[in-house]
A and B are shown apart, each in its own frame.
Chain A
């Protein structure tokens, strides 16, 4: 899972244009939003696109996204549970 978490972090960094942020700097269990990463609602929507584009998983309700995108760990768990 550790390797997948690292891959996911890199995908998130690229998708959200988090220039200069290294995977090590993101705590996989810490909240992604309301953090020093400064993510906003557009970033949440972009993560929905990432899930569909990279993993074939559709999230249609943005409210559902709030739980899924809580942290890198919750995203990883969701992907593992739903990946096609």
Chain B
């Protein structure tokens, strides 16, 4: 398989192929993500409804597909394989606080929607009309061997042309999004 592009988002910094393309003094997640969203000129209001990890993954994929020159017509042959450690923990905490602190009020559906780690993949699929295989695994750390191997199987044996693969994690004060855009090796 071929590597078309790599991106990373870490507190206050966006890198493409290991070169910084955007930096900010703002490192707090929600504020930095908003800055990055505006910098990227995305015009996608649904972004503001997403939880922290979904915003992070969304922005990472947005940059990855742009820099990797992903052909947008190929959504049905594009797969996503993502690993995460803490997943949607922030949304989980919010929902749990809602239902515990206010037992006589209904829970917020907009919060509950995000209490699954694979929703961030769903958001990206909706945005880019990606209908290929999606998987989300929980790993103790960034297990790039596992993720990349999974991507390789999809690309060599199962008719997938492109694969977004990587690791994303969000905790307040510490977040990371490391993504690679792989493509099928046409020489095979």
Chain A–chain B contact at Cβ < 8 A: yes
Chain A residues within 8 Å of B, Cβ to Cβ: 16-20, 37-38, 42-43, 45-46, 48-49, 52-53
- Range of interface residues on chain B? 10 to 19
Cβ of A19 and Cβ of B113 under 8 Å apart?
no
Residue of A19, A46, A52 touching B45 (CB-CB under 8 A):
A19
Binds A, one of B67-75, B83-91, B102-110, B155-163: B102-110
Known: A17-B49, A19-B48, A45-B109. 13 other contacts (CB 8 A): A16-B49, A37-B45, A38-B46, A42-B49, A42-B113, A46-B108, A46-B109, A48-B106, A49-B106, A49-B107, A49-B108, A49-B109, A53-B102
B112 to chain A, nearest CB (A): 9
Shortest Cβ-Cβ A-B pairs, 4 listed: A19-B48, A45-B109, A17-B48, A17-B49
Bound CA–CA A19/B102 (angstroms): 25
Residue of B46, B105, B109 touching A53 (CB-CB under 8 A):
B105
Cβ–Cβ < 8 Å partners of A42 in chain B: 49, 109-110, 113
A58 to chain B, nearest CB (A): 9
B61 to chain A, nearest CB (A): 20
Bound CA–CA A18/B49 (angstroms): 8
Cβ–Cβ < 8 Å partners of B49 in chain A: 16-17, 42
Cβ–Cβ < 8 Å partners of A19 in chain B: 34, 45, 48
Cβ of A18 and Cβ of B48 under 8 Å apart?
yes
Bound CA–CA A42/B107 (angstroms): 12
